[in-house]
Amino acid sequence: MSLKYRLYMLAVGRPVDPVAPGRPALSPSVDVSWGELLAYLWARGGAARLRGLWKGWRLAACGGRLFVGPRTRILFPRRLAVGRNCFLGGDSYINALAANGIRLGDDVRVRERAWIQATSSLTRPGVGLVIGSGTYIGPGCLLGAGGGITIGARVTFGAGVQLLAEDHEFRDAARLIQDQGVTRAGITVEDDVWVGNQVIVLDGVHIGRGAVIGAGAVVTKDVPSMAIAVGNPARVSGHRA
């Protein structure tokens, strides 16, 4: 096992053992020069780690090794708790004001240009957001957690996914829609779910463990465990097992 490999694995917060539980086997070597390796590690996380050190002490809790990209804004940081080895991508916006705040487990990756908010008005705070350990949130995702969003462990979101845990009232045609308020039911995504690029999940939806949602789907109803759902509106087209 090479020194470069050990340095790389330690820098990215992964077990040095090439056959870590729950992960595929890795080659215990890194085929790049020392200069290339150090430049890669700095570009990937050096400056972001320094930002994490600066911002981490302001949070409700920080498990250590927080990485924060450039130009990321965190409102109400005392309502945000993160586990160990979390990454918040650059140009993201996080408003953590909520009844239950925002909580991220260990090894959560929120990629660039994320928009996360549970409260748009201080007079009506939302419920909040929980993301389980090892979950990956792709670039440009939008998580509107007014009614509460719970995302399990080892979930994968593609780019541009939207979870909208709030809906506007509009039934009274004699009143402006903006004057009719909102309803909130909440969204749950269980463990080991893969949500493809540009998927939209509407309020009140529950996605079961191990489900797969095809790219571009609009999910308006619950999706059972291990199901494969595609289309607009999303319909179950098969099962993984």
6 or 236: which carries more pLDDT confidence? 236
Query: In the chain, what is the greatest distance between 2 CA atoms, to the nearest angstrom?
Result: 72
Residue 28 domain-assigned (yes or no): no
Q: Supply the pLDDT for residue 20.
A: 52
Residue 43 domain-assigned (yes or no): no
Task: From 232, 234, 192, 233, select the one nearest 213 (Cα to Cα).
Answer: 234
Average pLDDT over residues 111-133: 93
Task: State pTM to two decimals.
Answer: 0.84
Residue 119 domain-assigned (yes or no): yes
Residue 29 domain-assigned (yes or no): no
Task: From 140, 67, 70, select the one nearest 104 (Cα to Cα).
Answer: 67
Domain count for the chain: 1
* pLDDT band per the 50, 70, 90 thresholds, residue 90: very high
CATH code, domain carrying 126: 2.160.10.10
Reported as type and span, the H/E element at residue 207 is strand 206-207
Using left for φ > 0, alpha for ψ between -120 and 50, and beta otherwise, residue 53 falls in alpha
Question: What percentage of the chain has pLDDT greater than the value 70?
Answer: 92
The mean predicted confidence, pLDDT, of the chain is: 90
CB 177 within 8 A of CB 170: yes
**Strand 109-110 versus strand 136-137 pairing type:** parallel
Crossing angle of helices 34-41/3-11, nearest 10°? 0
* pLDDT band per the 50, 70, 90 thresholds, residue 186: very high
Residue 183 domain-assigned (yes or no): yes
**Strand 235-239 versus strand 227-230 pairing type:** antiparallel
Q: CB under 8 Å to 206, separation ≥6 — which residues?
A: 187, 188, 190, 222, 223
Residue 154 domain-assigned (yes or no): yes
Q: Supply the pLDDT for residue 27.
A: 57
* pLDDT band per the 50, 70, 90 thresholds, residue 224: very high
C-alpha 213/C-alpha 19 separation (Å) is 29
State the distance between the two ends of the chain, measured CA to CA, in whole angstroms: 37
Average pLDDT over residues 145-150: 96
Residue 12 domain-assigned (yes or no): no
Residue 1 domain-assigned (yes or no): no
Amino acid at 184: R
Task: From 183, 157, 155, select the one nearest 170 (Cα to Cα).
Answer: 183
Please, is 133 exposed, middle or buried when counting C-beta atoms within 10 Å of its C-beta (0-12, 13-18, 19+)? middle
Question: What percentage of the chain has pLDDT greater than the value 90?
Answer: 68
Average pLDDT over residues 151-160: 98
Which residue range forms the structural domain that includes residue 54? 49-239
Using left for φ > 0, alpha for ψ between -120 and 50, and beta otherwise, residue 49 falls in alpha
